[in-house]
Amino acid sequence: MNKKDVIYIEPNDDITDILANIKKSENKIVALVPPKKAGVLRSAVNFKLIAKTAKKDDKAIVLVTTDESLLKLAAAVDMPVAKTLQSKPRLPEGIEASEFGEKPAEAIEEEPEVEASEEEAEEEVPERKPARKTAVIDEAEEQEAEKAAAVAVKSKKESKGSDSSDIEEIDEHRTSIREKKDIKHVDKSKKVPNFNKIRTLIIVGVVLLVGLFGFLYWAREIAPAVKISVHVKAPSSNFSENIRFTENQAESDPVNGVFFVERKTIPKTAEANFEATGQVDKGAKASGTIQITRPKDEVITEQNANFSIPEGTKFTYKGKTYVATKGGSINLNIGDNLSKDVACDRHGFHLSCKLTAPVSSDKIEIVAMENGESYNVADSTTSGWTSTATIPSSYSIKVSPITGGLSKIAKQVSEQDVRGADETLVVASDSEMRTELSNSFGSEYVLIKSSFAVGDAKITTSPSIGEEAADDVKPKIIKEISYSMLAVSRSDVDKFITAKLSEKITGDQTQKIYSTGVSDDSEQNLAFFESYKDENGVKTAKLKSTTKIGPKVDEAMIADQSYGEKIGKIRTILLSINGVDDVNIDTSYFWVMSVPNDENKVEIELTVE
């Protein structure tokens, strides 16, 4: 008997598991044994996959089942079936038994399974040929074959020792008859048209037709794009108006030429060390006292009765000057209330008085004008002194010893030292500060360049002028200068120029303002201020710019005239507008003759000369 492989299908197996097991089987004949509920075999598609895999791997599949639904599905793909593993395989209803070597119906009975060789198994379950179907054989010839097969089977069964080999001979006879009929059928089929070729041509034609319609849609709806370039002449003209500035934002009125100005101030500082060359005597001044004495027998009158040395009186001795820090006086009384040292004689109406003894003044305190030992006077002196006060020559001057004078020379900061140090300081150049101030405003402002101002320099030194400079510390000079500039908002300037130009074209609907000359780009900005003045807090200047006024043509108008129109017509319409110098229309492809209605496919470029 032929050998076969048995595959038991589990309830949870899927079609890929079944197909894999079929491919792995070693024998040509494979028996599939499904469980009672095999959901995977309830699909006609899965049966077709099993039949296709069996044909590809040269396997003969036998379905072992009595389930009617599975038998119907097996019949659809011409799959042999058996009731049990020991039963002889048979073909589903409608298929000749001879195609699988099955016995006639009356001779079928269960037989024990016997081992068979691979060659016998191939003969027992031959591979099915898809062309072998009962519909191919003529009905008459098929009936004759069946009759001959039945007679042969009956005679064999009556004879002794009948076995399956005899049935196989009958099957071979049946097969040979069918093959002959198949050949006849094939010969007749040559007259039938080849629908496969026709189907291919139809598919190719449909693809080409769809491609043609797709190309036409793309060329008409998607591909068209247009760039319209319009060149307009707008002559330039000079603009010049007097304006006023205010630093009070509430007073700002740009339309009427009153601009709020912003001020930027940048302080700069420079410092350096320098040498102190001045000298100062840090010693002490000599001091003492002095007395003035009126002589005996001096004639005293009402005019000279009183004598005084006021504070601040200077005295000089041997070229050294001293000053009185405390004054002194000699006051004498005559008449009824005589001083004790005054005696008077009356001669009629005339009264004659004189001193009866020398009279000295209070002690007058004096201090040397400068420090130094040279101002010290060790002994009391009475001669050689002079004074800025008028002292009669008959009066004597007595000075007590003047002491305490001391010299101590030290360095000090002089004005000359500071001037020299200031000349070496470099704070910043004016051009550098103009640039820095301009950058601090940014592109949103129009600068008033002539308002650039340099503040007064503030110089401080440490130590200060006249102060002592220590030997181990160098004096330092610090110079501070502030730089300032004014600017006006660019938008305010634009508003003013626009208002003035609008007055010129009022009522003329064919003209428009193309440029006020005000731009964020420093190279393109043509507006500037000149002749800046600040007289008693009133700040004025002249605003100048280069403006452009031309025909009223804009992108919106060009678009309205262009969408959906022929290219030649658009060019004619635009060139008819006064001030339009040139019109150039570029299309994306040569077949584009009209401007699309889609704004995303139309680019408009307006150039003003």
Task: Classify residue 220 by its DSSP letter.
Answer: I
Measured between alpha carbons, how far is 382 from 126 in angstroms, rounded to an integer?
Answer: 170
Cα angle vertex 140, ends 135, 143, to 5°? 85
Show the CA angle centred on residue 132, arms to residues 128 and 137, nearest 5°.
155
Burial of 188 (0-12, 13-18, 19+ CB in 10 A): exposed
In the numeric block, which tokens belong to residue 475? 């004096």
Fill in the DSSP letter of residue 159: S
Identify the pLDDT of residue 191: 52
In whole angstroms, give the CA distance from residue 571 to residue 582: 9
For 2, how many CA atoms within 13 A lie in the half-sphere containing its CB?
Answer: 24
What are 386's two structure tokens? Answer: 């002079």
In this structure, the number of other CB atoms found within 10 A of the CB of residue 143 comes to 11
> Which residue type sits at 595?
V
Q: How far is CA 24 from the centre of its chain?
A: 65
Q: Sign of the C-alpha dihedral, residues 234, 240, 246, 247?
A: positive
Residue at 587: amino acid letter: T
Report the pLDDT value the prediction gives residue 192, as an integer from 0 to 100.
56
> Would you say 325 and 367 are in contact if contact means Cβ atoms under 8 Å apart?
yes
Contact criterion met (CB below 8 Å) for 18 and 132: no
Tokens representing 481 are: 């200068």
**Of 360, 381, 407, nearest in space to 288 by CA:** 381
As a whole number of angstroms, the distance between CA 178 and CA 137 comes to 6
pLDDT at 92: 64
Structure token pair of residue 396:
């004597």
Phi-psi region of 297 (alpha: psi -120 to 50; beta: other; left: phi over 0): left
Backbone angles phi, psi at 242, to 5 degrees: -80, 135
Q: Comparing C-alpha atoms, which of 589, 595, 592, 591 is closest to residue 565?
A: 595
Give the neighbor-by-neighbor strand order of the sheet with 226-232.
Answer: 580-587, 226-232, 602-608
User: Cα–Cα distance between 493 and 516 in angstroms, integer?
Assistant: 9
Write out the H or E segment, with its range, that includes residue 44. helix 44-56
CB hemisphere CA count around 540 (13 angstroms): 6
Mean pLDDT, each 10-residue run in order, the chain (609 residues): 79 85 87 81 84 87 87 87 84 50 37 37 38 38 45 43 42 48 47 69 89 82 83 86 92 92 92 85 89 89 86 91 92 80 80 88 91 86 84 87 88 86 85 90 90 89 84 87 92 92 79 84 82 90 90 79 81 80 83 80 81
Expressed in percent and rounded to 5, the helix, strand and coil fractions of the chain are 30, 35, 35
DSSP string, 549-578: EEE---HHHHHHHHTTSBHHHHHHHHHTST
Q: How far apart are CA 321 and CA 388, in angstroms?
A: 11
* Tokens at 495, concatenated: 């508003």
What residues have CB less than 8 Å from 573, skipping those under 6 apart?
561, 565
Within 10 Å of residue 71's Cβ, how many Cβ atoms?
16
Cis peptide before 596 (omega within 30 of 0): no
- How much is the pLDDT for 123? 37
What lies within 8 Å, CB to CB, of 466 at 6+ separation is: 278, 280, 412, 413, 414
Place of tokens 């591909």: 223
Can you give the pTM of this predicted structure?
Answer: 0.43
Angle subtended by helix axes 139-158 and 164-189, to nearest 10: 170
Distance in angstroms (rounded) separating the CA atoms of residues 20 and 492: 85
Q: Give residue limits of the domains in the chain.
A: 4-189, 193-222, 264-277+412-487, 283-407
Q: What is the pLDDT of residue 111?
A: 38
